[in-house]
Amino acid sequence: MKFFADTADTADIASLAATGLLDGVTTNPSLIAKSGRNFLDVIREIAALTPGPVSAEVVATDTTGMLREAEVLKKLGSNICIKLPLTLAGLTACKALSDEGTMTNVTLCFSANQALLAAKAGASFVSPFVGRLDDIGQEGMQLIADIRTIYDNYAFDTEILVASVRTPTHVLEAAKIGADVATMPPSVIRALAHHPLTDKGLAAFLDDWAKTGQTIA
């Protein structure tokens, strides 16, 4: 499974990139607004921090506007992935961009039927939002399972990019189902490495080592 950081915080991205665990980055208008910085500057900087896909989202709602904005965004880096809403206008733009070889990420997916349309439009990635479905009493992971079944049935190339990930449990369940990517806040990526028994064991090892009075040099 690939790990994408869902953030516009370039310091966090640089830190995670140094671990070798980061495969890409996703952003959205809300994350850019939170950064308080210029949108194009942030995307350009992120694209330079990781060789993996960097999803940059359009804000136009019509196909012509989306394609016009996509032309601007593509110039910010060779790894830019155009993020489009799962609307008919967005799917039309997705088809046009995919046909020319541009990476696309169709976002705000909340049903398997929507995911099927994204695959038919040639999307590189589809982003189902599991956390938001959980919030309204639906099972986000069931959507991932349904999409996996449909995509496997027809050998679609579109990758399932699990979004709205809130906890390490979301990551675990998505990996068990066979999702291709999980995008998550940097805090969740870091939390994957934590376990109280690991901390306890390390503390014991270090305590025993200190008693030997030795060093490794």
pLDDT at 133: 98
pLDDT at 66: 98
Q: Which of 2, 34, 74, 83 is catalytic?
A: 83
Instruction: Record the tokens describing residue 93, joined without a space.
Output: 């733009």
Would you give per-residue pLDDT tens digits along the chain (217 residues)?
999 999 999 999 999 999 999 999 999 999 999 999 999 999 999 999 999 999 999 999 999 999 999 999 999 999 999 999 999 999 999 999 999 999 999 999 999 999 999 999 999 999 999 999 999 999 999 999 999 999 999 999 999 999 999 999 999 999 999 999 999 999 999 999 999 999 999 999 999 999 999 999 8
Architecture label for domain 2-212: Alpha-Beta Barrel (3.20)
> Which own/partner contact pairs does 102-111 have at CB distance under 8 Å and 24+ positions apart?
102/70, 102/74, 103/53, 103/79, 105/26, 105/53, 105/55, 105/81, 105/161, 107/28, 107/55, 107/57, 107/83, 107/163, 110/143, 111/143
Helices 112-120 & 88-99, crossing angle to 10 degrees? Answer: 30
Rounded Cα gap, residues 135 and 54, in angstroms = 27
3-state secondary structure of 44: helix
Half-sphere exposure of 139 (CA within 13 A, CB side): 8
Rounded Cα gap, residues 181 and 91, in angstroms = 21
pLDDT at 205: 97
Residue carrying the six token digits 């990517």: 181
Rounded Cα gap, residues 31 and 23, in angstroms = 19
Greatest alpha-carbon pair distance for the chain in Å reads 70
Nearest to 94 by CA among 73, 125, 72: 125
pLDDT at 50: 95
- Assess whether 83 carries a catalytic annotation: yes
Q: What is the pTM of this model?
A: 0.95
